[in-house]
Chains A and B, each alone.
Chain A
């Protein structure tokens, strides 16, 4: 499913600036800013669908590598929609890659620059009161952000009553991951299987 959208230069710029602005807020990983990306891309700008958002996160989780790559897929989907779908061929690729570059550079550049500069300083001053206070104080916030991300992604399942089987799948996988050490790929695979068979 694609929604054809029209993106002007200012919109591409806004996409880049929004991801740049989220970069330094991504304490605990890019995934903690996923709720804000969802608010911006899906609710506010209507550049991608709820389904595209959820599948970007799911694909990035299923693939190897840092989970920050879901950001590349969000950019990819914005580009594909701007090219009016993959049917557009070469221009879809060009737009998709432009989306990848803008979102990835946006989300990475500020945080890596800061990490580079601050890592030595933080390492040297790890006994400093301010450093310890920051670490302690942010811990519950970061954890709540991760939980909120799970909640908002589960919202992609649809209405809890109509889509109770998907919600049950989410709850069951949360329970299994929380309580067992089963490899995550098995759980994702099981989700794909029950989905492909049309059970959820």
Chain B
């Protein structure tokens, strides 16, 4: 296994990773950190990713924090975070500023309308892809689909504030999961 050589190595590595992340960041993160740099074994990557995912906040940003922290403590976490965000932020602001200057050109408005429609489809597709992962959820596929349907209706159709949805539906789901796990501890042995 390898590891970041210095804080600047950490900064530029995460910067490189962020600048390649058009849409599918997870694939880039895995290829760079596991296959190219070998900072993480595939097993470590899967574990870290799971934790990064259950914590609130952007997954890749959480992962950057965790890895930076592991090698260089809090300084490492902040440097990894800065590497991840600095240049992409400048690029996206430059794009927005450039866009604002030409925002009344009909072709540009049309292009943004088209990209907006595509972006909506891309995000919906991400959700559709992930639905398949619920088959392995030990709460049972039916329960999962029912929870997902309730959440979708509450948020997308009824426009209920997120905090209530998370507290009520999310809270019940976690309690139910806990109940299921406690009932069948043997079936949950690590793969």
Contacts and interface: CB of A to CB of B under 8 A. Distances in A.
B181 A29 contact: no
A42 B173 CA distance: 30
A191 to B, nearest CB: 3
Nearest to A61: B119
Given A57-B119, A187-B122, A86 B100 contact: yes
Contact of B124 (A24, A33, A151): A151
B31 interface: no
B156 A148 contact: yes
A65 B122 contact: no
A144 interface: yes
A134 B119 contact: no
A102 B32 CA distance: 32
B42 interface: no
Interface stretch (B5-13, B33-41, B81-89): B81-89
Contact of B93 (A26, A76, A112, A115): A76
A155 to B, nearest CB: 8
A112 B111 contact: no
Contact of B22 (A29, A115, A184): A184
Contact of A27 (B24, B56, B130): B56
Given A115-B66, A146-B130, A200-B114, A22 B162 contact: yes
A169 interface: yes
B54 A29 contact: no
Contacts of B106: 198
Interface string B94-133: 0111011101101111111111111111111111111101
A149 B108 CA distance: 24
A116 B161 contact: no
A145 B148 CA distance: 8
A14 interface: no
Interface string A48-74: 000100111111111111111100110
A192 B65 contact: no
B55 interface: yes
Interface in A9-25: 21-25
B77 interface: yes
Contact of A66 (B88, B125, B139, B161): B88
Interface of A: 1, 21-33, 35-36, 39, 43, 51, 54-69, 72-73, 76-77, 80, 86, 100, 104, 108, 110-112, 114-116, 118-120, 122-123, 126, 129-154, 156-157, 166-167, 169-178, 183-185, 187-188, 190-198, 200
20 contacts: A27-B166, A58-B118, A62-B95, A63-B95, A65-B18, A65-B21, A67-B23, A122-B54, A132-B181, A134-B177, A137-B139, A138-B174, A141-B169, A145-B155, A150-B123, A154-B124, A175-B125, A177-B121, A192-B114, A196-B111
Interface of B: 18-25, 47-48, 50-62, 65-66, 69, 74, 77, 81, 84-85, 87-89, 91-93, 95-97, 99-101, 103-104, 106-131, 133-134, 137-139, 143-145, 147-152, 155-156, 159, 161-163, 165-166, 169-170, 173-178, 180-182, 188
